[in-house]
Amino acid sequence: MKRVRRFVQAALVSIATITTITSGGGDRAHAKGWPTPAAGPSASGDPELVFTFDDGPSPSTTPKVLDILAKHHIKAVFFLVGEMAGSGNQKVPAIIARILADGHVIANHTMTHKDLCRKKTSDEAAAKDLDDGKATIERVAGVHTFWFRAPYGVRCDRLDGMLAERHITHFHWDLDPQEWKHNDAKKAFDYVTKNLAKMTGRNVLLMHDIKKATVIALPQILDWIDAENARREAAHKRPIRIVSAPELAAERIPADLRAWAADAIPTRGGLGARLASILP
């Protein structure tokens, strides 16, 4: 059953990546040429937030991030680094298994966190870092990965070519609290809540599950969202809606396939719920 589940998830996310993230206009200083909004427009019309975590897994901090997300019923995307996933640390395989069991989506963030657009890096070395990361993460996790995020969010013709060859769509972000740089929880909290307060449309938040600042700031951010949504409800304003990673995958299934699946899967709870239930 587990294998079937994994296969279906792989198929769904695969289909999803073909259709995906490349819609959107404008550019932001930190976006480095990737389209914004990073995950398309809001599906609900509410301000929407997608949680993503990069650079892990860390044996010490990732389990804490997972505890916090579980408490708030949030399903995120984890962009793992191959070296971390295949580090040989005995705790890591269980942490990766828990990421999947908790319903998050695992994705590729290269093998060694190389800047794939750096001129000094050869084409072969860049391709190897991308491919080795994917292979290592998949070996440890036992699932296919389809989503990819370039270290440092870089973009260049070489990377575009490599992604096109592999039918991979890049998964960028909209909000970067930079805790990877300053490791300051207060700064991260202030940045995120300031942006969430005025947020419209769908925003992808980038955080790092290997940073202590993330472990401290994340529950504060989630408590702030709960309080903010209570305020908004009282004022009859649109709430901040957190979009789960499986939901994001499912909504990207082409409409005709969705219609086919609706016929093929006898449903009581609606196709969305069915899809969510077969994703890990």
d(CA 243, CA 241): 6
Q: Minimum Å distance from CB 239 to Zn ion? A: 30
Q: Which is nearer to Zn ion, 55 or 184 (CB)?
A: 55
Instruction: Annotate 45-77 with b (16+ C-beta within 10 A) or e (fewer).
Output: ebbbbbbbbbbbbbbebbbbbbebbeeeebbbb
Based on the residue annotation, tell me whether 54 is a catalytic residue of this protein. yes
How far is the C-alpha of 109 from the C-alpha of 240, rounded, in Å?
A: 28
Please report, as ranges, the residues that interact with Zn ion according to CB under 5 A: 54-55, 151
Q: Is 208 one of the catalytic residues? A: yes
- For Zn ion, give the closer residue by CB, 24 or 151: 151
Place of tokens 């289909």: 15
d(CA 176, CA 276): 28
Q: How far apart are CA 21 and CA 132, in angstroms?
A: 23
Identify which of residues 13 and 150 has a Cβ nearer to Zn ion in the complex.
150
Q: At closest approach, how far in Å is the CB of 39 from Zn ion?
A: 18
Q: Closer CB to Zn ion, residue 9 or residue 58?
A: 58
Spatial neighbors of 172 by CB under 8 A, at least 6 apart, are: 21, 31, 34, 35, 36, 38, 149, 153, 204
Q: Cβ-closest residue to Zn ion?
A: 54
Active-site choice (46, 54, 174, 184): 54
State the nearest-atom distance from the C-beta of 260 to Zn ion, in Å. Answer: 37
Q: Report how far residue 102's alpha carbon sits from residue 110's, in angstroms, rounded to the nearest whole number.
A: 23
Closest CB to Zn ion among residues 82, 151: 151
Closest CA to 182 of 216, 139, 222: 216
Q: Which of 104, 170, 172, 208 is catalytic?
A: 208
Q: Cα(177)–Cα(259) distance, rounded to whole angstroms?
A: 39
Q: Residue 54 Cβ, how far from Zn ion at the closest point, in Å? A: 4
In Å, how far from its chain's centre is CA 176? Answer: 13
Which H or E run contains 6? helix 2-19
Least separation in angstroms between CB 192 and Zn ion = 18
- The terminus-to-terminus CA distance of the chain in angstroms comes to 11
Residue 88 CB, nearest approach to Zn ion (Å): 21
In the bound state with Zn ion, the residue whose beta carbon lies nearer, of 6 and 109, is: 109
Q: Provide the annotated active-site residues.
A: 54, 208
